[in-house]
Amino acid sequence: MVEPPVPLTALSGDQRAQAHTRFTIIRPALEDGVTQAQVARTHDISKSTIQRWVKRYSKNGLAGLADAQVRSDKGKSRRLPAEAVTLIEGLALQTPPRSIAAIHRQVCTIAGERGWKVPSYDSVYRIIKKLDPALLTLAHQGVAVYREEYDLLYRREATHSNAMWQADHTPLDIVLLDEAGKPARPWLIVIEDDYSRAIASFRLTFQEPTALTTALALRQAIWRKEDPHWHVCGIPSVFYTDHGSDFTSKHMEQVAVDLGIELIFSEKGVPRGRGKIERFFRSVNELFLQDLPGYAPKGYQAEARLSLPAFEHLFRTWLLSDYQHRVHSETTCTPAE
C-alpha cells in the first residue's frame, strides 16, 4: 500500500524552509523550460540531486522536497557558528556580486580550515535570501540607485486616496502666446494623488512657480471642483514636495500646519522618488503636447499659435476626458476610479 504524502502543515519550520529553498532552485526547470543540467551548473549542485528533487516534487508536491527522515543529531544545535553566518553575509555583499554557488564553495573551504561545520547549499542560500534587499542594492549598485529605489516615498506607499499627495512643477515643451502676443513657454504645477494617480489640481503660468502659486494649487486641490467629472478633493494626510524654494517657504509650512497636513520634503539636491509624478509629465508630453501647434522640445523652435487660456481649456479637457480614464499599468485602474 502506497503511503499518502506528508502534508505541508505537518512539516517543521526548518523543513518548510528547506522545501521552499529547493523549489526556488528547481523552479526554472519546472516552469521556464530551463534544462535540469543548466540548473545544476548554475547552483553547483549535482545533476542527480536536481533530478531527485524534481521527481520528489512531481510526486508529492512542495512537501516532497523536505527531508523527512529523523536526523541523528536531533535535539542538538544545528546552527552555524555566528562567524560563519557573518562570513556568508559579508561575501554576499561584496562587489561585484557573486553567485550563491561561488559563495558556498568559498565558505565550505574556510569552514574546513577553521574547523566549523560545513554548511549545506540550502543553509547558505537561506542566509543570503534573508538579507535586506535595500542593503544588497546599496552594496551592489551604489548610493544613487539605493536612494532612488528606497526613498521615503516608497517606504510610505499610500494605501488609500488622500493619504499622500505629491506636488511638482515643470516647464512645458510648447511655445504659447503671452498677454503681449509674444512667444513664451508655460510652467505646469501639478498635485497628484499618490494612491490613485489622479490629478487633484493643476495651474499654468508663464512665471516660474512661487509659494503663492503652489498654495493656490493646493487650495484648488482641496476644494470640491465645479466640474462634476473632477472628483478629487479633500485634505491629504501627507503632502510630499521637492526642496524648491517655493515649496520650502514659510508660507507653505504655515498652510500645512493650519490644515493639519504633514509636510515632507525630498532631500535637498537629491530630487529622488519623483517617478510617479514625472511619469505624468511624460504622459503630458507624449499624449498631449506632441499633437498641438507650438510643440517645441528642448533645442527646437516652433511658432506660437495658442494663447494660455486656449491651451488651458485643451489641457483640462484632455486631463478629465482622457488621462483620468486611462488604465494605469501599475495600479491596473484608471485614476478616476
Helix (H, G, I), strand (E, B) or coil at 53: helix
CA dihedral 280, 283, 288, 293 (to 10 degrees): 100
Query: What span, in angstroms and rounded, lies between the C-alpha atoms of 206 and 169?
Result: 12
Compute the distance between CA of residue 2 and CA of residue 288 in angstroms, rounded to an integer: 67
Point out the least confidently predicted range of 75-79, 132-136, 216-220, 295-299.
75-79
Q: What was the pLDDT predicted at 329?
A: 59
| Per-residue pLDDT at 244 | 57
Q: How confident is the model at residue 11 (pLDDT cuts 50, 70, 90)?
A: low
Residues whose CB falls within 8 Å of the CB of residue 286, separated by 6 or more in sequence, listed in order? none
For residues 116-127, average pLDDT: 90
Chain segment 87-96, per-residue pLDDT in tens: 998 899 888 8
Residue 189 burial by CB count (10 A; 0-12/13-18/19+): exposed, middle or buried?
buried
pLDDT > 50? residue 153: no
> Of 233, 227, 263, 259, nearest to 247 (Cα)?
263
Instruction: Please compute the mean of the pLDDT values over residues 217-228 and round it to a whole number.
Output: 89
- At 235-265, the pLDDT tens digits run 998 888 765 555 556 667 777 777 888 877 6
Instruction: Tell me what the mean pLDDT of segment 92-116 comes to.
Output: 90
- Mean pLDDT score of the chain, rounded to an integer? 81
Q: What whole-number percentage of the chain has pLDDT above 90?
A: 28
Q: Rounded to whole angstroms, how far apart are CA atoms 188 and 209?
A: 9
Q: What is the pLDDT of residue 272?
A: 47
The pLDDT of residue 17: 78
pLDDT at 31 over 60: yes
Q: What is the pLDDT of residues 73-87, one digit of tens each?
A: 443 335 788 888 889
pLDDT in tens, 234-243: 999 888 876 5
